[in-house]
Structure 1
Amino acid sequence: MHYWPSTRWSFSSRRKNDESWIELPLPFALIGAHDRCQVHVEYKRLPAVVYFAVVCGSRVEVWPLCGIAFPIWGRIKSDTQLLVGKHRLSLMSDADPNWTSPTVAAERTAEETEAIGHHSTDAAPADAALVMDWGTGEQTRRLSRQVTILGEGHPSSMRMHGLGLRVCELGIVCVGKRVWAVQLNPDSLPDGDPMVRELVPGGESIWIGNVHLWANQIGSRAERRFGEPPSDATVAVETPAAVNTNSQGVKRPIVMVDQPHRRPISSITRSTPQSNDTDRVASEFTDRLLQKNEKRANRQNLIKWGVTGGLLLAAISVAGYVLIQGVLPIFKAIYSE
């Protein structure tokens, strides 16, 4: 598996006025108190994972994964500070004008180095879809952003209720038509299991909770979940004897709920109009906020370049005036004699 296109990036923690930058080994990072977090923060009241950070090309994005004070989401710059516990974290790619060489270089295995490949600042916009099946037929959802958080509820940006998922289950990274899934709950994976998988069109699914996921095209079903479901969730088992039939006559397993919580399949996927409206409003609000932040960043860049251009023109004008009014008369006086 190869990761998505990305540049070098690093992070800095300013809890004790330490300005050192530490290079991150992979193009994604979980930030929190869990031992498998790429940015490990020591704080006793901190959740296991607080933020999901990604670098796509030269673009750095962060997404909160729990209720946290002063959350930040979407694209960030090097001067953006994430308040995590008592730490102030900053993230920066090597395409940032303020980039400085990391004090601590990243340590990668041979497999990780091969998976990252050559660094690239170009990452195509999202142009793919998630194909989902939880026993009642296939459903497709377009991926409109390069980074999407999939889970049960807020703060996930794509929500699926009643399917045995955690609040934030997967981080979906989409570059062009390629899709990757990052497990956001490292405690659900056995030690040594990779935290990221690529969804190959027509290949094996990713099985989380009671739902199978593919990218763009349905394929075979995974026999093992990508992360164990939470202990308080009603999870499902798939049995070869329990199948339904789609319009093409292909037999597919359906979701069967374990005893003693047996209930109809429809109750697993049922959601009220109020919850659907709430999710729709939340998604629209997130999209509008991201667009607003993008416009604000573009406006700030235009102002910065405008001021820089104005100062440059002023400096050229002053230099020209001094040259014409001060230096040229001296040369004329010298050579006229």
Structure 2
Amino acid sequence: MGEFELIRHYFAAAACAQAAEGVVLGIGDDCALLDVPVGEQLAVSTDTLVAGVHFPADANGRLLGQRALAVSVSDLAAMGATPLAFTLALTLPDVCTDWLADFTAGLDSMARHCGVRLIGGDTTRGPLSMTLTVFGRVPSGQALTRSGARAGDLLCVGGPLGNAAGALPFVLGERAAQEGAAELLAHYWTPSPQLALGQVLRGLATAALDISDGLLADCGHIASASGVALIVEEGRLPLSAALRACVGEQNARQLALGGGDDYVLAFTLPTEKLDALRASGQPVYVIGRVEAGQGVHLQDAEGRTIKPPLSGYQHFGSQCD
């Protein structure tokens, strides 16, 4: 099967590749054309996922399709954007029709769940990897960024932490299935971008991002961009019963602090906005506060600063001279 036949059969024919509001021209030309309403801005983000780094090389195609798009759309949620479209650049070692059918089905399922359309991309031969670029729209001047946190704000997250990191031993086949494993695996393979929360946070939150590399590491980005210190209170971390059952209380806290792939939102919020956010019905867990200073600081129940065992994931931990 040639490249263009592959695109026509598996991707151009998918439900998520059909016409939609805001997509003037999709797959089939040199460029796609998007229509952004007057008074709105285009939000754009790109993610690359590589076999053996971001997922096992033998990953189920359907699960991988779901996950690949979800983690990319999560960036739109972090900006408070409404999803519009995405492109996919897929590199394959060979053409396996069964795997492609499964991958496309998973991709299409997540696309429909998120309300986003496939508008183009590329396919090529090589080690398995995929690069997705997502496009969204947000009212001008209302996008959430990392740079607005202020001393006195609350530090919040939009859901339990550490579930995906807790799933990793099951994903890699290092542990046999046990009680709670299914819930953790669902969080790993089918993360749900917090799009509704992100849109509600427009005009309420002062800064936001999605947690991909671990709570402490990602909060460091807010602290740096905003020029403030973030205080994380260990005893207030939201932990699921499934994570506690699988790894125990102490390990659950460590994974919540330093494990990656949560894809829930972390955000700073003026204290007076908390009741309005809770009234919206969106999930909110207060886990700390913003103070004058710099960096991220972890405190125990007595308010003492403690050193975390994990700080988060980095692709390049050291640099060549």
| TM-score, scaled to structure 2 | 0.27
Q: Which structure has the larger Rg over C-alpha atoms?
A: 1
Q: Which has the higher contact order (CA 8 A, sep 6+)?
A: 2
| TM-score, scaled to structure 1 | 0.26
